Structure 1
């Protein structure tokens, strides 16, 4: 098999675990390519081939870091991902550092499943932006200055929302920022999208669960204040009143290497 390795080089523990993974796979005779950015510090991975993330043609991608490292990988590469968690909660990174090598042994044996999760497509003024595995967040660009958002669903006017922001979430993202903002938790098998207001002015402004075939259009309604669109906590762009934003379910999917498909067990373990 051909493996890709993406490492959060700002974490000492991540580098240590990545070296163990690299040594293990080399001993097994497997090919490993490391993300080019991780090779900036030559002392980490001497003599290892490196490529930009989007150019890595691999069978399995291994991320060593937190959820942010995994989400960045899914934005740029379609390969199935096995996430090794050296972050905080690590809701999407299932494998603990101590279990990384046994997990890879199972991958080599074919003793795993690939779980597909829906992604969110964003169109900004006719231009397609990177897909989101978790969410797109539209937030006021001015701290403590409330924003106005016009929301349309399938071209029908839905609401004029006064709030700090709004989250457009996938089922996978329902356990992340959307949950913190009071949104519902969705089983990842549910075909839906969620709209979650962030600190809304009206007490009646509540999260809305929509079918995943819905087309969501959001416009900044305030004549002067700008907003910021952030996709999976990484990609961001300034948004003004003249801009158009359209959100739909993407045709692409996020693919996760899984050893246990029990979502509820995993949720309880991570939320302790």
Structure 2
């Protein structure tokens, strides 16, 4: 393992690379060199999302990227990468989703997919389909579909469940629904479709918190598992729960 290339991307990558080099004695690259690395330390959520969108095949050690991906705190980054370099780690996987609007080129998602009214406090009507089954049609400010990795984040704040990482499913949660006692759903992640049934204001698509443009009325947003992200889990990794 010690001969495998190691890279660092994200927040403060150059400093982290220098610190890890000094701590482990292993030469560590920063930035663009991650494309050729077998192991990548991703510092921060944004760096992790970038790797997922690029379709990385590397084993990724997330740092300060949340419990959903068993990330380690930045203060433990040196010890964590040393564990990886010496083979003192386990691997875990998290599903990666493909998100496509009306057949356009897909965007890869690790955490969540959200449809939300562009103007605050405006309600639209959404439908949710899982495979051939119409699951729901509801009025709300928006709707979020979260993987297990993302179920700790915005989806949980909206009232959704935290999914066990071994669950082959996504959690579908309405945002500020127009009715009390609104349901939440856990459905297989193989084939989920969201659609704007009635547009009372602009509706935006967010993929892992990043804008992916507007979604017009009666346009399908198709979500399906495409592959998985490999994670390095070390002693300093956070518990999923």
Fold conserved between structures, TM > 0.5: yes
Post-superposition Cα deviations, 1:78-134, rounded to whole Å, max 9, x if no partner, equal: 32211222x7x6653622233222222211211112211112221211123222111
- Report what 1:248 is aligned to: 224
SS across alignment from 1:178? helix
Counterparts of 2:172 and 2:48 in 1: how far apart (Å)? 23
Counterparts of 2:156 and 2:171 in 1: how far apart (Å)? 11
- Shift in Å, 1:73: 2.3
SS across alignment from 1:195? strand
Tell me, yes or no, if the aligned pair for 1:106 and 1:112 is still in contact at 8 Å: yes
Tell me, yes or no, if the aligned pair for 1:220 and 1:226 is still in contact at 8 Å: no
- Shift in Å, 1:210: 0.9
- Shift in Å, 1:235: 4.6
Tell me, yes or no, if the aligned pair for 2:197 and 2:218 is still in contact at 8 Å: no
SS across alignment from 2:134? strand
Q: C-alpha root-mean-square deviation of aligned residues, in Å?
A: 2.5
The match for 1:132 among 109, 119, 125 is: 109
Post-superposition Cα deviations, 1:139-188, rounded to whole Å, max 9, x if no partner, equal: 11122211111222223333221111101111111111111111111110
- Shift in Å, 1:2: 0.7
Tell me, yes or no, if the aligned pair for 1:151 and 1:219 is still in contact at 8 Å: yes
The higher-RCO structure (CA 8 Å, 6+ apart) is 2
Instruction: Give runs of aligned pairs for residues 72-221 of structure 1, distance below 5 A.
Output: 72-76=50-54, 77-85=56-64, 92=69, 94-213=71-190, 215-221=191-197
Post-superposition Cα deviations, 1:11-31, rounded to whole Å, max 9, x if no partner, equal: xxx664343124446x33x3x
SS across alignment from 1:144? coil
> 1 or 2, which has the higher strand percentage?
2
Instruction: Give runs of aligned pairs for residues 32-43 of structure 1, distance below 5 A.
Output: 32-35=28-31
The match for 1:234 among 197, 201, 210 is: 210
- Shift in Å, 1:267: 4.3
- Report what 1:266 is aligned to: 239
Cα separation, partners in 2 of 1:224 and 1:144, compared to 1, 3 Å: closer
Tell me, yes or no, if the aligned pair for 2:123 and 2:200 is still in contact at 8 Å: no
TM-score for the superposition, normalised by structure 1: 0.78
Bigger mean CA offset, 117-126 vs 91-100: 91-100
Tell me, yes or no, if the aligned pair for 1:121 and 1:128 is still in contact at 8 Å: no
**Count of matched residue positions in the alignment of Structure 1 and Structure 2:** 237
Counterparts of 1:161 and 1:19 in 2: how far apart (Å)? 52
1:3 paired with 2:6, answer yes
Unpaired runs of 5+ residues, structure 1, are 36-49
Unpaired runs of 5+ residues, structure 2, are none
